[in-house]
Amino acid sequence: MKLSRKVIIQNELGLHARAAARIAQLAEKARSEVYIIKDGHEVDATDILDIIALYCPCGTEVAVKVTDPADEKILNRIARLIETGFGEL
C-alpha cells in the first residue's frame, strides 16, 4: 500500500483556489489525515488556504500523503485530479 505519491502540477494556472477546493472536497472524505507536501512543507489537504499558501505554479512537484492505508483510494483520486490538470487541460 502506498501512503504517498509524487505528482506534477499540470494545469497552466497552477494550484489555484478552485483546484484547492476540489482537493479539499476529496480529502474531507478520508478517514485519516491527508496532506499536500511541497519542498518539505506539509499542509492539511482539507484547508484550502493552506494549500494555496504552498504556491504551486504549473510544473511544481508535490506529494500527496495519507496517514491510513484505508485511504489509498482517496490518495489516488487526488493524485489523478492533479495529474489531469483539474479538468482544465
pTM across the whole model: 0.95
Separation CA 43–CA 47 (nearest Å): 8
- Residue 89 confidence (pLDDT) above 80: no
- Residue 1 confidence (pLDDT) above 80: no
- Residue 61 confidence (pLDDT) above 80: yes
Q: Is 41 a catalytic residue?
A: no
Helix, strand, coil abundance in the chain, percent, nearest 5? 40, 20, 40
Kindly state the average pLDDT of the residues 62-87. Answer: 97
Q: What percent of the chain has pLDDT over 70?
A: 99
Domain at 4-87, CATH homologous superfamily: HPr-like (3.30.1340.10)
Is the separation of the CB atoms in 30 and 66 below 8 Å?
Answer: yes
Residue type, 58: C
For the chain, the domains span 4-87
Catalytic residue selected from 14, 16, 32, 63: 16
Q: What pairs with residue 63 in β-bridges?
A: 6, 37
Q: What is the pLDDT of residue 2?
A: 77
